[in-house]
Structure 1
């Protein structure tokens, strides 16, 4: 029987890989980014690599603004759909059971954006320290 390659609607529990001392976590983009950043040695990156990663903070800012605009739009659509003034124009989209799933998805996106911002900030800090100390690491 072939396994489905589509991701599940809910995050899956993962067990740590053998020989890695890491507690089981729910696999989400933010936990993956955190695991990767925290388990590799960014101090060995070149200045160009740190500069690239430091741009993640700007990307996180753009992502958060984009997400905010879309969340407001969805909120307005739900609000309009629920108004009694237009009872025959209701779409029924994002009602009842759909709302918790949407809110969980948005929370995951916000958490991921926060992790991207953290990585960008740490890379920027490391780059500034390296440049002010006069040490290069190309």
Structure 2
């Protein structure tokens, strides 16, 4: 098993473990709205909405990380397994993996920063109201 799969398996186990992170794991829903292609009949570009979902752990930043500008005291840190984040259609997950992006709305908050770990197993997302 490669490093990525091993990390994801260990994290999924911790997410499910009642003695681990199970009580902290929450459903995650993200929404991205972008302009579609120009439609001459409409006289503009319709808005295209992509929705994705999975589960993750919401946390806060350490005091030493908060600088009041790039990271504020009200910002949240979200950790999501990459292999559990899927595009949803009518509330049901599809087989298509989702990639969160800056500007997405996740849990009612805007994504300001999206990063992945070196093994590409998890997403860490900075959220702000």
Q: Same fold (TM over 0.5)?
A: no
Which TM-score applies when normalising by structure 2? 0.26
Q: Does 1 or 2 have the higher relative contact order (CA < 8 Å, sep 6+)?
A: 1
Structure with the larger strand share: 2
- Between structure 1 and structure 2, the one with the greater Rg is 1
